[in-house]
Amino acid sequence: MGNEVRSKVVGTRSVKLNFTFGKKVTLVNVFHVPGMNMNLVSGDLLGKLGIKFVYESGKLILTLNGVFVGKGYSVEGMIKLCTTDNIINDISNSAYMLESVSLWYNRLAYSGISFMKRLIKYGLISCNINDFT
């Protein structure tokens, strides 16, 4: 991921996100991708579910039909969702997206080498930094 290598999707399932304020969102058709070190959630697909997300001053607010659903905050250039448990972390190597991995690579690659190094440092992508130089 981030190194132009494609990874195989080995399965799909539903995942329930339990936000800190008691709201729950179920993501369906979540892809299990062993080559990924962290979980990704596509904002575009959340939007298709009717979830509105507003990002301002390092904070993300999620609403559904005008009702507060959950929040997240910025950590090293990525957004961490506030959940009551580590359900996202328990589902190792998952991605909720329809776009190809190469699209994610293109989106991340334009962030520059320092951003890619941070992603590698925090285990968000698994690749050789020499692939970017």
- H or E element that contains 81: strand 78-81
For the chain, where are the alpha helices, taking DSSP H only? 43-48, 87-90, 101-109, 113-121
What would the pLDDT profile of 117-129 be if each residue is shown by its tens digit? 676 677 665 555 5
> Is there a contact between 70 and 23 (Cβ–Cβ < 8 Å)?
yes
What would the pLDDT profile of 47-97 be if each residue is shown by its tens digit? 877 888 898 988 989 888 888 888 888 887 778 888 776 544 444 444 444
Tell me what the pLDDT averaged over the chain comes to.
69
Structure tokens at 44: 């575009």
pTM of the model: 0.54
Give the pLDDT confidence score for residue 70 in this predicted structure.
86
Give the pLDDT confidence score for residue 124 in this predicted structure.
64
Strand pairing of 94-96 and 40-41? parallel
Q: Would you place residue 33 in the very low, low, confident or very high pLDDT band (cuts 50, 70, 90)?
A: confident
Give the pLDDT confidence score for residue 53 in this predicted structure.
87
Give the pLDDT confidence score for residue 95 in this predicted structure.
45
Q: Would you place residue 38 in the very low, low, confident or very high pLDDT band (cuts 50, 70, 90)?
A: low
